[in-house]
Amino acid sequence: MNVFLQAQPVFSDDKIVFGILMFCLAIVFYTSNIKKGWWPKFYKYVPALLMCYLLPAILNSTGIISAKETDTYVMAKNYLLPVSLILLTLSIDLKAISQLGFKSLIMFFTATIGIIIGGPVALLLMAKLWPATVDGLGVDAVWRGLSTLAGSWIGGGANQAAMLEVYQYNPDKYGGMVLIDIVVANIWMAVLLLGIGQNAKIDKWLKADSSAIEKLKEKVSSFSESIKKEPKLKDYIIILGVGFFLTSLAHFFSTHLVSLFESLDSLKDSSLTSGFFWVIVLATTFGLVLSFTKAKNLEGYGASKIGSVFIYILVATIGVKMDITKVAENPGLIVLGLVWMAFHVLLLLIVAKIIRAPFFFLAVGSKANIGGAASAPVIAAAFHPALAPVGVLLAVLGYAIGTYGAVFCAILMELASKYQGIIP
């Protein structure tokens, strides 16, 4: 039977799908550590993390498994991501992070501006080249739908939902905007993962000074070595117990905080009413608090390694969301999304070149906007586990400004539509 033609995936039971995803990770880690044959050459150009993302994407695209039929991503996002943030943050050196300088913030806000301006630029260009793509009046106006994309790409899911509510885009056509979000954002994710494998070359081209990043990595590595001990079963249990208990507290308090802010009319459409937002903020805060206590020494028993395992599982579940075959659907909207993303990337490259910012700041600044806390720490940790908190902190900032940036972008796209005569 041709799996491409199947209405249902071959495997839809989460218990089976999770096992398949774990086996994909096992294959990648096994082959990436082979020192002979053609594998070393392959992984020299294709990072192992990218393969952890692409293999599940291929399985989803061919109908072996399906993102629509599995909740593995929800599980990883709600349980494993907060735990990994706690375990990766508890040994962090905040003073060392502060010494990374303002280039990280400059690249983050450059990414935000690239999305805000890129929306109307893409709309104007498509109005010239492919007018039918941006047609629509009233609730069908394309700029209204694109406002939800701006919310997602600057902040996250909560900001996206807020834009849908504010601009009342036709719900029947909303799926097309979700498609742009998934396809284009995941293509950019794959490009970034590929770029990490060429990090040194990119930094050389940017003439970037990455000494502060290297010092942070060396400092964390030195600390890990200085307290390194042979872990026993009790140590793994303690690490997991601390991580999952604090994650449960994050979920507990997040529900109460959401209820509080939902009761305030002025804030009911903000990211403050997102449970996931508060889970990430609280988990990160718990990790930072632990970094000032003796719990910091849990790093000696491999806390960050366990956190990294959970990050890789998250990457695999994110990969399931990518359907390569969807790229051919509704090509006009996909092209618009790609033009938008291209403007965002071009602006990042120009600014990075001018201020000589390392590729790390470009990649994390971008994903802190496009992807938020679910993928920014993934990208950051791909450079080094010690850098994951940088991605988290910037992603939280993205949630905070997401709605404001999306509203500004929507206003510009409405003006662009009127200028082109798309809407009266």
Q: Identify the structural domains of the chain with CATH numbers, from first to last.
A: 12-419 (1.20.1530)
Six-digit token string for 210: 């990455």
pTM, entire model: 0.72
Percentage, residues of the chain above pLDDT 70: 90
- At 154-168, the pLDDT tens digits run 877 667 766 777 787
Beta carbons of 158 and 274 less than 8 angstroms apart: yes
Tell how many helices (H) and how many strands (E) occur in the chain: 19, 0
Q: Which of 40-49, 111-120, 346-355 has the lowest mean pLDDT?
A: 40-49
Question: Measuring CA to CA, which residue among 317, 234, 343, 256 is closest to residue 67?
Answer: 317
pLDDT of residue 402: 75
Q: How crowded is residue 342: how many other Cβ atoms within 10 Å of its Cβ?
A: 16
User: How many Å apart are CA 241 and CA 87, to the nearest integer?
Assistant: 11
H runs (alpha helix) in 197-232: 199-206, 211-226
Residue 112, class by beta-carbon neighbours within 10 Å (0-12 exposed, 13-18 middle, 19+ buried)?
buried
Beta carbons of 328 and 341 less than 8 angstroms apart: no
pLDDT of residue 371: 75
pLDDT band at 372 (very low <50, low <70, confident <90, very high): confident
Beta carbons of 15 and 7 less than 8 angstroms apart: no
Beta carbons of 344 and 334 less than 8 angstroms apart: no
Q: Is the dihedral of CA 245, 319, 203, 405 positive or negative?
A: negative
Question: Measuring CA to CA, which residue among 114, 113, 148, 124 is closest to residue 417?
Answer: 124
pLDDT of residue 59: 93
User: How many Å apart are CA 281 and CA 284, to the nearest integer?
Assistant: 5
Residue 30, class by beta-carbon neighbours within 10 Å (0-12 exposed, 13-18 middle, 19+ buried)?
exposed
Question: Which comes out higher in pLDDT, residue 408 or 95?
Answer: 408
Question: Measuring CA to CA, which residue among 424, 376, 385, 313 is closest to residue 107?
Answer: 376
- At 172-203, the pLDDT tens digits run 676 678 778 878 888 898 899 889 888 889 99
Beta carbons of 132 and 349 less than 8 angstroms apart: no
**AA letter at 132:** A
pLDDT of residue 4: 46
What does the mean pLDDT of the chain come to? Answer: 84
